[in-house]
Structure 1
Amino acid sequence: MPTNTRATKSASRRKKQPSKSSVPLAPGQKRRFQNRLLKWYKEHGRDLPWRRTSDPYHILVSEVMLQQTQVDRVIPKYHEFLERYPSFTELADAPVAEVKQTWYPLGYNIRPERLHSIARETVARYGGQLPNDADELLSFKGIGRYTAGAIRSFAFNEDAPILDTNVIRVLYRVFIAEGDPKGQKSALWELSEALIPRGKGYDFNQAIMDFGATVCTARNPYCLLCPMKTFCKTYPFDGKK
């Protein structure tokens, strides 16, 4: 899987100390996980259309569409939507009823309404250019912590953490495997951020999502083929975690 070809354009990445996690990691475990995950992604990462761009608008559209919708259903609608509304300006100028009709049949119609609202706010406040600041992104109605992290990571190549269903599953199974993951969101966010290799947030975040979607699946994960099985706290999987 090729890496992001436009990664070098993010010269404004902030320098900071490596993040720490409240989840204890065994010596060398962090590095092994990083190396094995990135190696797996290079060989098995999916070729998806939104991975061929770093346009913040395109990234936002893909992330909103992918909420509670499978990839194979999103791909054709992603192309159709961007052809109809190629930028924030065109989307903001369109009637919301038309946008919802274009969105059909993806469902969850609050999503196109929020996307339309974000477009209008982006045009009004930022001249049609989505900001990369975390607090500014979170100020938009419809952009939560995950979406803000995805935009910063995939559009601006920042080492921003993400935490969706697939990421939660992978991190919980490999590093925690105790208690209810739903009650450990804070620790999982810390872990997600702490594991990102410096300067490789784009590939790492894409990799861990793909890994959860195709290997460490909710049911019947491919544990025998898993590169993490030598230190995964859930291996062998018994169907309970």
Structure 2
Amino acid sequence: MIGGAPDPRLILQERAPYNAGTGLRFMIRRTTPARSRKAVNRRPKLTRSLKRRFQLRLLKWYAANGRDLPWRNTADPYHILVSEVMLQQTQVDRVIPKYHEFLDRYPSFQHLAEAPVGEVKTTWYPLGYNIRPERLHSIACETVARYGGKLPSTEEDLLSFKGIGRYTAGAIRSFAFNEDAPILDTNVMRVLHRVFIAKGDPKASKSILWALSETLIPKGRGYDFNQALMDFGATCCTSRNPSCRPCPMKSICKTYPFGAGRTKPL
């Protein structure tokens, strides 16, 4: 009973005869709420064949179309972290020059931790979202204090930093430590939802999409596969006007051909 009304999760199955000693007895069966049943039904069936086709087509597309970005020429955890924080809510072409400038001024966690936070924010300008340089400075200070200036590689340790969430932790593990760690940014979410789910709001399917992101990674290819996913979403499977006709996924994509009303822009 919730607020005087029957709990909708409890369905009355059978009423037993009245007994003066025990009063009314009810046989109650618990069922899954309708909303949960729908969520479960949206979970895609990922056969081995479908998984393999997606992996091979994506990696082939990436080999021909992957972007040449400066943070892809390093495995330095500090450089990877700086790039990932800068890329939050900011377009790549605006990040590239500031990425080089920032690293020239603060080439390590130690240099960044020793700098006044006000100066760091000034260097960050004009990227905006000024909570980001503050958090980056805080991560640098904590890395120096707790780990001797070397960023840890485990998910648990990375998530202990304020300012490092699940996506950033996965990106660092994947791009700096070459682990098969899943990622789920806006581009990846859009690609996986369009290809494998199609219905509903992608943001309401995050747990399913995280599981998909992890399951799809070819063993030992996490770095290339994750970079490919992000590039594919940024340049081919875009939010509006995606390039559906030349898309290598069109024969397996549940949203093809993309059209108004089929899925919300993301």
- Partner in structure 1 of residue 214 of structure 2: 193
- Partner in structure 2 of residue 61 of structure 1: 82
Query: Aligned Cα RMSD in Å?
Result: 1.0
2:170 maps to 1:149: yes
2:170 maps to 1:171: no
- Structure 1 position 26, deviation (Å): 4.0
Unaligned segments of structure 2, at least 5 residues? 1-42
- Partner in structure 2 of residue 231 of structure 1: 252
2:47 maps to 1:32: no
- TM-score, normalised to structure 1, is 0.90
- Partner in structure 2 of residue 92 of structure 1: 113
- Structure 1 position 180, deviation (Å): 1.2
Distance 1:151 1:23 in 2: 28
Moved more, 149-158 or 24-33: 24-33
- Structure 1 position 27, deviation (Å): 4.9
- Partner in structure 2 of residue 108 of structure 1: 129
- Partner in structure 1 of residue 9 of structure 2: none
Moved more, 224-233 or 178-187: 178-187
After superposition, what is the alpha-carbon deviation per residue over 1:107-146, rounded to whole angstroms, capped at 9, x for unaligned? 0000000000000000000000000000000000000000
Query: Relative to total residues, which structure has the larger strand share, 1 or 2?
Result: 2
- Partner in structure 2 of residue 82 of structure 1: 103
Would you identify which runs of 4 or more consecutive aligned residues in structure 1 move more than 3 Å?
Answer: none
Contact 1:220 1:239 in 2 (8 A): no
- Partner in structure 2 of residue 17 of structure 1: none
Query: Which structure has the larger Rg over C-alpha atoms?
Result: 2
Unaligned segments of structure 1, at least 5 residues? 1-21
Distance 1:223 1:94, change over 3 A: same
Higher relative contact order, structure no. (Cα contacts within 8 Å, ≥ 6 residues apart): 1
- TM-score, normalised to structure 2, is 0.82
When the two structures are aligned, how many residues end up with a matched partner? 221
- Partner in structure 2 of residue 117 of structure 1: 138
Out of 181, 186, 189, which is 2:202 matched to?
181
- Structure 1 position 231, deviation (Å): 0.8
Out of 205, 214, 235, which is 2:235 matched to?
214
